[in-house]
């Protein structure tokens, strides 16, 4: 026994003599990565490259290397699922705060709130033991029909890029990796697994890649999720030109590329195409279960076999494993990772504040708002969304909340008085929140609800209609796009009928997309709320009553008609795509059966409305306030590689408020490289200004942000000459202009 103990002691001494650098949290990460790699077997390297459950990938228990725990975001931590199914685990301690949708965050135009959002939501992820938050998303809203647009950050790449950076920085400072998605061109849900996107090199760079590059360069995002769709014939989850060529080599990104769930299709492409962590293979990403074990994944046994046979070099495996280890040391084995909080008062405060600043006041006739409830004896609230939970449904963004404050609850708290009676009429019924089909609702039920609402309207002095979209399939939901530009469930007809009975009508809509408003002339006031999360009711009521002055601005253009959007004039080719038999097979022998062509090119959103001279219903960047603002004369100077613009903003109204100042650049003419009429290149938001108070905003525009992509040279190009900088309250409301000469 003594001899055995001596041998064990010697073995232990030999082991500890060789420093385990990878376990030293104070050692540089790259040293930890290389040390861990040197100790791992081939099989252990393979194991960390693919899922071991629905939302985890393996660590190396033998070496004390922890696994990665992932979960859906970015609006909150998803309800816990069973280890190996899509069924909920039915935990009793996984209820969380639902934060507002990313469209709502973007509508604040407030970088500080973006940082607060990232900090708050990542604390909830950390407390739940999660290492990777699957989000945020920055796909561009080129069509208002996109079912997942509510998860993204609008139509403008600069705005999306600027707003996503503070979110990522704050979250990752807490030791929770963001998984930026969906890289790239995942701009529709129709045939999302099989559609091949055809887009010009210039539009790809200037519009669709731009916010991702911003997140790589400025926020050093730790992980990125590939998208389901194809680009240039290859799936984006293992697209060599995209992932290795652009993301990793050209941009110098050192993070781990995670597949979307079910987005991996081929072992050789996965091996050489830039994929690092394979998740959800043989599923549809939400409902369909895998018929194979995790060892059958493309980057599992099939990949290991090719490595062992020498058909794929060990360097390919090591490069992937290094990226995954780097992520582990930044998150699950990061000693600075916060413990976090769940459902804290600070998180609810953040939720409410973001919601308040994201709500956009679109119409306010004759000062209808802020609402003085004491002026009315009977207020009728109509609409399913007054009581419906809008944190449920939507696919992977569905959340299990500790509590939600509905508009009806908040109205009863803030509007109901001894002199004012509130009543509720549902008006319409939409059915359950469903992911993969449309719930059928008996028409007789909606006829009855409509009749009841119209009858109640006869007794009302004021009507507040609370409608819009919900997160059902083919509304704002993963796996299905909208089928109509109109509001669903006959809401437009109901609104018009209500207005004929009682002209004192306030419209409140929720949803992630623009929509048609044939009833707009009949409405006295209109608020668009996106999705406001757990504090939805209080945020809305605070805006309605004037406790908070609205300061949100649209991150998308609201067109009068669907046909007005820039892509729409190109027909089915531009959206949702066509079957094109002339397309050759890719390297895996696949021929995508749907091809979509981005024929509007760089003229997405307001750029296209300007080009086509089409007047929108509400322009990009638009939003009203309960006060007014005056803009002083701006100054702009070139300081090194930057343009520095300063402008004074004065509150000229009677109540305190915040103003968003937008800077659009118009480039000198270039016949060989046509430019949009104007492009957003800077913005700032004032603090809360009291009546008569002024603030000077200083906005810096790097010279490189004025660049366009030259398809002849395949490089960014800044044209010299005189640029006009428009200081604006929206894309259609230019207050001041200043010229600056760029060498």
8 Å CB contact between 468 and 510: yes
Element (H, E) at 257: strand 256-258
Lowest mean pLDDT among 125-129, 349-353, 395-399: 395-399
CA angle, residues 416, 419, 420, in degrees to nearest 5: 40
From first CA to last CA, the distance across the chain in angstroms is 83
**Mean pLDDT score, 114-133:** 98
Residue 17: predicted pLDDT: 40
For the chain, give me the number of helices (H) and strands (E)?
18, 26
**260 assigned to active site:** yes
Which stretches within 331-477 are classed as H helix? 345-358, 407-414, 443-457
**Mean pLDDT score, 395-407:** 96
CA angle, residues 305, 310, 316, in degrees to nearest 5: 85
8 Å CB contact between 593 and 579: yes
Residue 592: predicted pLDDT: 74
For residue 80, pLDDT beyond 50: yes
Structurally, what CATH architecture does the domain formed by 40-80+95-330 represent?
A: Alpha-Beta Barrel (3.20)
**Mean pLDDT score, 471-496:** 97
Residue 582: predicted pLDDT: 73
For residue 8, pLDDT beyond 60: no
Output the average pLDDT for the chain.
95
Which stretches within 150-273 are classed as H helix? 157-173, 201-203, 210-219, 240, 267-272
SS3 304: helix
CB-CB neighbours of 408 under 10 Å = 19
Buried b (16+ CB within 10 A) or exposed e, 551-563: bbbbbbbbbbebe
Q: Tokens for 263?
A: 């987005």
8 Å CB contact between 624 and 361: yes
Task: Classify domain 627-742 at the CATH superfamily level.
Answer: Immunoglobulins (2.60.40.10)
Long-range contacts of residues 580-586, Cβ cutoff 8 Å, at least 24 apart = 583/196, 583/233, 584/233, 585/233, 586/230, 586/233, 586/234
For residue 433, pLDDT beyond 60: yes
Q: What confidence tens digit (pLDDT) does each residue in 621-672 have?
A: 999 999 999 999 999 999 999 999 999 999 999 999 999 999 999 999 998 9
Q: Tokens for 410?
A: 């908040």
CA neighbours within 13 Å on the CB side: how many for 596? 27
Share of the chain above pLDDT 90, in %: 92
Lowest mean pLDDT among 295-309, 412-426, 520-534: 412-426
72, 94, 187, 260: the active-site residue: 260
**Phi and psi (nearest 5°) for 670?**
-145, 105
Element (H, E) at 47: helix 42-47
CATH number of 351-545: 3.40.50.1700
**Mean pLDDT score, 46-66:** 98
18: confidence class by pLDDT, cuts 50, 70, 90: low
How far apart, in whole angstroms, are the C-alpha atoms of residue 580 and residue 575?
14
Residue 16: predicted pLDDT: 47
- Residue that is written with structure tokens 């071991």 in the block: 52
How far apart, in whole angstroms, are the C-alpha atoms of residue 612 and residue 24?
60
Dihedral angle at the C-alpha atoms of 72, 76, 82, 86, nearest 10 degrees?
Answer: -50
User: What DSSP character marks residue 669?
Assistant: P
Q: Tokens for 130?
A: 């999660």
Q: What confidence tens digit (pLDDT) does each residue in 345-369 have?
A: 999 999 999 999 999 999 999 999 9
Q: Tokens for 32?
A: 């930890």
């Amino acid at each position: 026994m003594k001899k055995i103990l001596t041998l064990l002691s010697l073995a232990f001494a030999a082991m500890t003599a060789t420093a385990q650098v990878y376990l030293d949290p104070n050692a540089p990460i790259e040293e930890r990565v290389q040390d861990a790699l040197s100790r791992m077997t081939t099989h252990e390297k393979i194991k960390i490259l693919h899922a071991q459950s629905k939302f985890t990938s393996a660590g190396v228990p033998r070496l004390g290397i922890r696994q990665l725990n992932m979960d859906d975001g970015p609006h909150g931590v998803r309800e816990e699922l069973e280890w190996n199914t899509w069924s909920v685990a039915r935990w009793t301690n996984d209820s969380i705060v639902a934060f507002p949708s990313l469209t709502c965050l973007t509508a604040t135009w407030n970088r500080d709130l973006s940082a607060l959002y990232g900090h708050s939501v990542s604390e909830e992820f950390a407390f739940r033991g999660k290492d990777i938050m699957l989000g945020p998303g920055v796909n561009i809203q080129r069509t208002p029909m996109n079912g997942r647009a509510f998860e993204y950050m609008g139509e403008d790449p600069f705005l999306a890029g600027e707003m996503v950076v503070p979110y990522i920085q704050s979250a990752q400072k807490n030791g929770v990796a963001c998984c930026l998605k969906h890289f790239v061109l995942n701009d529709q849900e129709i045939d999302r697994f099989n559609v091949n996107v055809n887009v010009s090199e210039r539009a790809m760079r200037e519009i669709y890649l731009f916010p991702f590059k911003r997140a790589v360069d400025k926020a050093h995002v730790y992980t990125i999720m590939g998208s389901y769709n194809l680009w240039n014939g290859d799936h984006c989850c293992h697209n060599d030109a995209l992932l290795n060529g652009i993301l990793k080599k050209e941009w110098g990104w050192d993070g781990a590329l995670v597949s979307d769930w079910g987005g991996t299709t081929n072992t050789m492409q996965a091996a050489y195409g830039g994929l690092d962590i394979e998740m959800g293979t043989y599923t549809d990403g939400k409902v369909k279960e895998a018929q194979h074990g995790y060892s059958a994944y493309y980057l599992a046994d099939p990949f290991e076999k090719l490595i062992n046979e020498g058909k794929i070099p060990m360097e390919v495996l090591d490069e992937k494993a290094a990226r995954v280890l780097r992520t582990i040391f930044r998150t699950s084995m990061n000693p600075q990772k916060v413990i976090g909080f769940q459902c804290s008062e600070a998180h609810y405060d953040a939720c409410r504040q973001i919601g308040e600043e994201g709500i956009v006041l679109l119409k306010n006739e004759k000062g209808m708002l802020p609402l003085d409830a004491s002026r009315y004896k009977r207020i009728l609230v109509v609409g399913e969304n007054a009581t419906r939970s809008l944190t449920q449904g939507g696919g992977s963004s569905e959340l299990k909340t500790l509590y939600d404050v509905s508009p009806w609850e908040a109205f009863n708290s803030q509007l109901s008085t001894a002199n004012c009676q509130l009543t509720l009429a549902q008006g319409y019924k939409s059915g359950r929140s469903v992911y993969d089909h449309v719930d059928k609702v008996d028409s007789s039920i909606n006829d009855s609800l409509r009749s009841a609402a119209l009858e109640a309207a006869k007794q009302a002095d004021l009507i507040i209609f609370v409608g819009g979209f919900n997160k059902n399939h083919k509304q704002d939901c993963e796996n299905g796009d909208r089928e109509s530009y109109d509001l669903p469930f006959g809401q437009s007809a109901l609104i018009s009928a209500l207005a004929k009975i009682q002209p004192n009508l306030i419209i409140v809509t929720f949803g992630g997309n623009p929509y048609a408003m044939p009833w707009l002339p009949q409405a006295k006031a209109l608020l668009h709320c996106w999705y406001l999360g757990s504090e939805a009711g209080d945020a809305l009521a605070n805006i309605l009553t004037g406790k908070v002055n609205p300061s949100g601005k649209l991150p998308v253009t609201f067109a009068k008609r669907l046909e007005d959007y820039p892509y729409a004039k190109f027909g089915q080719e531009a959206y949702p795509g066509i079957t094109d038999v002339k397309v050759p097979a890719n390297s895996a022998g696949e021929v995508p059966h749907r091809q979509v062509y981005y024929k509007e090119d760089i003229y997405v959103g307001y750029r296209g409305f300007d080009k086509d001279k089409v007047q929108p219903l509400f322009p990009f960047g638009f939003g009203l306030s309960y006060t007014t603002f005056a803009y002083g004369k701006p100054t702009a100077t070139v300081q090194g590689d930057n343009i520095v613009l300063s402008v004074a903003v004065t509150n000229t109204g009677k109540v305190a408020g915040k103003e968003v100042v937008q800077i659009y650049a118009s480039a000198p003419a270039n016949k060989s490289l046509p430019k949009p009429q104007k492009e957003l290149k800077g913005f700032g938001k004032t603090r809360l200004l009291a009546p008569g108070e002024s603030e000077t905003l200083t906005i810096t525009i790097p010279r490189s942000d004025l660049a366009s992509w030259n398809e002849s040279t395949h490089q960014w190009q800044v044209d010299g000459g005189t640029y006009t900088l428009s200081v604006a309250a929206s894309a259609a409301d230019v207050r001041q202009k200043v010229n600056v000469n760029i060498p």
